[in-house]
Every structure is written in C-alpha cells, then in structure tokens.
C-alpha cells in the first residue's frame, strides 16, 4: 500500500514574501492617508535594518573563515578574489557607461533652466561633508581595523572581510591542530543562521514602517515633478538587469528571470527597507543552496556589496548629467570621461545602505569642477525612491556575480542550481 509523502502546500499568508507585499501596500496606504502618522513610523524600518546589520558581521566572518579554511590553499583564495574583481570592474564600468548613454539620449533634465545660484546648498551640506572624507587613501586605510575584535564590534563589512580572510588563511596553514576551532566555527555558523531566520520574522513590520515613512514624509506627489528622472532611472536599471545581466546569465547557463523569481522574498525585503544589506544574510544562504561553493559565496557576496554596485553606478552618471542638464551646463566628452573615471573610483566602497549612493554622488560632483554640488538639492526629494531601485539592482547584480564566479572556478553544482531556480 502506497502512502502519499507529498508535503501539504503552505497557505499563502504564511510565506514571508506574501507578508512583505501586504506590509508594503499597507505602508503606502497609511503614509498617503495619514502622512504625519506614517512619517512617525520611521523607527520601525530603522529598527529592523539595525537588527539585520547586527547579525551581518558574524554571518560574513563565519562564512568566510569556514570557506577559506576548507580551501587549504592560499592560491585558491587569490584566484577567486581575482576573478571576482575582474567581473566587478567589467560590470561596474558597463553600468556607468549605460547611465551616461541614457542620460545623453533621453536628457531628463533638459528644459528645466535652473539657476545654480538659486539652489539651497544647505540641504545637501551634510552629504557633501561626508563625501569630503571619501579619499582613496582614507578608504584603503579604513579597511584595516584598530583591533581584530573591533572589526566585528564595529560591523564595517570590509574590515570584517579583511579579518575573516586572515583568520581563514591562518587556520588553513595550521591544519589539523585547528580542527576543534573549525568545529566551533561550523556550530556557530548554524546558530547564527538560525538567528537570521528568527529576525526575518520581523521583516513585514520593518517593510511597513519604512514604506509608511517614505510616503508620509515625501508624499506620492513628490514624484510628479521629477517623474522623468525617476522613470528614466527605473527603466535604465530594468534594461541593465534584463539585457546586460540577462546575457551574462545566459552565457553562464541560467535564466535571469528564474533567478529573480528565486530571490523574490529577498527582493521584496530590499524594496520595503530600501537597503540591500537587509537581505545580505539570506542571499548568502540562498546562493549556497543554489549550488555555489561556500568559499566562493563567502568571498564574492560581501566584497560585491562594496565593489559591485551596478545600480549605484547607473544612478551616479544619470543623476550627475541630469543636474548638469537642469542647470544648463554643457559637459564636453572630455568632462564626461572625467566624470566616468571619478565615478568609477568614488563608487567603490559605498555600502548597501540607504543614502550611501547620495553621499557617493556628492563625492563625485565635488571632484568634477563644472558641476555644482548644490545641484543635488534638485533630486534630494526623490532620492529615497531611487534608493530602492539602486538597492534592487545592486542585489540582483551580486547574485549573478556569485553564480558566474562559481562557474568560472568550477565550484558550481549545476543540478542544485537547476533545482533551486526551477522552484524545488
């Protein structure tokens, strides 16, 4: 006698992505109908993002230490990192160029005739001040923490990455005597990911609070004045994901649409919180489940969050040219090439949190003399809406990068990838 072993289908409302969708819609309604109350819900979104950021450092540290220690070969670490950075540089440059091309063709800021002298520079003074500190030397020195423990305590992704790589390499060199430490790392990794699962239960609350604040604070009407820029940015990002990343995915042997469907719960979380960091632990877990080897995931995903920001790169050149066009400033091809080069450097190291792209744009404008930093006041009101698109594009780009580098490294289980993307 045969028994049906098929597990019963879970009700739709029990799925995290369904709960997040309802929360986002509810947030929009509350923010629109009761704007003051919606704006007051900002702590809900901020609190959830802080909860997730709290666990990011141990997730990255344990994942990388475990992955590198199992490699037992320093050359393999360098090889994976080299392939990852080659991919990051290529795709980031492509994103910058696409943003530049679209801005020149569509010209979203043309006809606004804004006098730069009338712009209120005080509105962007805080961002400009933060951008002033973003020098290349300062960025490189900031990767080195004061102590090994301060990297974990501070939660700076690149510092945690640095310490984790050193620790993993050292454990690999020590070998068998370090076996008890490796067992402890493995057990701690399971505990940390269980904590991640617990924290994700609060995702709908965070998404609701963040969306209610955005609509309540800025209003749906803020989109009308700058709808051209926002629509241009969203369509350009969509084009980049479906065409550029789609071609990369096809060449690697998978479908970009299937990957997006696989990552729907995480993408909704990113949309609701405007922060790709909110879904970083889940991305690491899902990439491993999809057949990417742990060492590859551990190295590519965290570094991608600082060096593979496709959405931020599109935003940088598109927004910079929008400001130039709105202020009636003509940029020669040489000046646009300078803008491209500066953006390529300043975009590296921008964290995947809300506002980082705006600060990076300020850093770029402050170096290009013909562009007024005060022009950022034009897009300050809609930056929050564009931040969501930046985060979504960055997130998808890092998922694709992980699979591509795993394929190059021969560390991709194609059967597991096909099962995961097929919905199994």
Least confident of 106-110, 238-242, 359-363: 359-363
**In the prediction, which pLDDT does 278 show?**
75
For residue 354, name the pLDDT band (cuts at 50, 70, 90): very low
**Mean pLDDT confidence for 47-70:** 76
Encoding tokens for residue 325? Answer: 């066009």
Q: For position 3, what pLDDT does the model report?
A: 46
Residue 82 has pLDDT above 80, yes or no: yes
| Contact in structure between 267 and 260 (CB atoms under 8 Å) | yes
Angle separating helix axes 383-408 and 74-106, nearest 10 degrees: 140
The CA distance from 108 to 102, in Å, is: 9
Mean pLDDT along residues 4-23: 65
Per the model's pLDDT, the better-predicted residue between 207 and 98 turns out to be 98
State the average pLDDT over residues 57-82.
75
pLDDT value at residue 7? 46
In contact, 30 and 252? CB cutoff 8 Å: no
pLDDT above 60 for 372: yes
- Mean per-residue pLDDT, 135-146: 72
User: Measured between alpha carbons, how far is 262 from 395 in angstroms, rounded to an integer?
Assistant: 13
- Is the pLDDT score of 87 beyond 60? yes
Percent of the chain residues past pLDDT 90, beyond the cut: 15
Instruction: Flag the least confident range among 170-174, 214-218, 286-290.
Output: 214-218
Percent of the chain exceeding pLDDT 70 equals: 76
| Statement: residue 1 has pLDDT above 50 | no
pLDDT on residue 205: 86
Tens digits of residue pLDDT in 180-204: 888 888 888 788 878 877 887 887 8
What does the pLDDT read at residue 38?
A: 86
Place 14 in a pLDDT band, splitting at 50, 70 and 90.
low
Residues with Cβ within 8 Å of 330's Cβ and at least 6 positions away in sequence, in order, are 324
Q: Give the tens place of pLDDT for each residue, 383-418.
A: 667 778 888 999 999 999 999 999 998 889 999 999
Alpha helices in 201-226 (DSSP H): 203-218, 222-225
Mean pLDDT of 217-223: 62
At residue 327, does pLDDT exceed 70? yes
Quote the DSSP letter at residue 279.
G
Residue 208 has a pLDDT of 85
Q: 114-131, pLDDT tens digit by residue?
A: 666 655 555 555 555 555
* Residue 260: pLDDT over 80: yes
User: Are 23 and 207 within 8 A, CB to CB?
Assistant: yes
C-beta atoms surrounding 73 within 10 Å = 12
Whether residue 74 has pLDDT greater than 50: yes
Question: What is the Cα–Cα distance from 24 to 206, expressed in whole angstroms?
Answer: 9
Structural domains in the chain, sorted by start = 12-421 (1.10.3860.10)
DSSP structure string for 97-135? HHHHHHHHHH-TTTT----GGGS-GGGGHHHHHHHHT--
Q: Give CA 409 to chain center in angstroms.
A: 23
* Residue, of 12 and 234, whose pLDDT is higher: 234
120 CB neighbour count, 10 Å cutoff: 10
Distance between CA 339 and CA 333 in Å, rounded?
10
Quote the pLDDT of residue 143. Answer: 78
- Residue 374 CB-half CA count within 13 A: 10
Contact 349, 388 (CB under 8 A): no
Q: 240-267 as b/e, with b when 16 or more CB fall inside 10 Å?
A: bbeebbbebbeebebebebbbebbebbb
- Tokens 């924290």 sit on residue: 199
Which class for 377: exposed (0-12), middle (13-18), buried (19 or more C-beta within 10 A)?
A: buried
| Higher pLDDT among residues 255 and 360, named by residue | 255
Dump pLDDT digits (tens) for 284-312: 889 999 999 888 888 888 888 777 888 88
């Amino acid at each position: 006698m045969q028994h049906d072993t098929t597990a019963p289908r879970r009700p739709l409302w029990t799925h995290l992505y369904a709960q997040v969708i309802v929360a986002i819609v509810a947030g929009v309604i509350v923010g629109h109908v009761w704007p003051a109350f919606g704006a007051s819900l900002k702590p809900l979104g901020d609190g959830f993002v802080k909860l997730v950021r709290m666990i990011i450092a141990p997730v990255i540290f344990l994942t990388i230490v475990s992955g590198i220690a199992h490699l037992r070969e320093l050359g393999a670490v360098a090889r994976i990192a080299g392939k990852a950075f080659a991919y990051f540089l290529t795709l980031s440059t492509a994103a910058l160029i696409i943003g530049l091309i679209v801005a020149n063709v569509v010209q979203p800021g043309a006809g606004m005739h804004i006098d730069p002298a009338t712009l209120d520079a005080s509105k962007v003074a805080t961002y400009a001040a933060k951008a002033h500190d973003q020098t290349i030397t300062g960025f490189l020195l900031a990767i080195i923490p004061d102590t090994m423990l301060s990297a974990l305590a501070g939660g700076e992704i690149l510092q945690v990455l640095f310490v984790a790589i050193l620790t993993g390499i050292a454990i690999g060199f020590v070998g068998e005597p370090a076996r008890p430490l490796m067992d402890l790392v493995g057990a701690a990794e399971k505990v940390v990911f269980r904590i991640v699962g617990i924290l994700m239960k609060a995702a709908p609350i965070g998404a609701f609070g963040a969306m209610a604040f955005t609509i309540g604070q800025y209003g749906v009407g803020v989109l009308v004045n700058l709808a051209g820029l926002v629509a241009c940015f969203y369509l350009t990002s969509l084009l980049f994901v479906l065409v550029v990343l789609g071609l990369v995915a096809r060449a690697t042997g998978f479908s970009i649409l299937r990957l997006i469907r696989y990552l729907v719960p995480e993408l909704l979380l990113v949309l609701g919180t405007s922060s790709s960091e909110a879904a970083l632990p889940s991305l690491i877990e899902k990439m491993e489940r999809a057949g990417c080897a742990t060492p590859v995931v551990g190295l590519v995903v965290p570094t991608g969050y600082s060096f593979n920001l496709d959405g931020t790169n599109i935003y940088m050149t598109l927004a910079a040219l929008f400001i130039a066009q709105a202020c009636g400033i003509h940029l020669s091809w040489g000046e646009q090439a300078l803008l491209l080069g500066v953006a390529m450097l300043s975009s590296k190291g921008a964290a995947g949190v809300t506002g980082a792209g705006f600060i990076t744009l300020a850093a770029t404008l402050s170096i290009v003399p013909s562009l007024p930093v005060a022009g950022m006041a034009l897009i300050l009101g809609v930056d929050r809406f564009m931040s969501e698109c930046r985060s979504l594009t960055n997130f998808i780009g890092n998922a694709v990068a992980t699979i591509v580098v795993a394929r190059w490294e021969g560390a991709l289980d194609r059967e597991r990838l096909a099962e995961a993307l097929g919905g199994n």
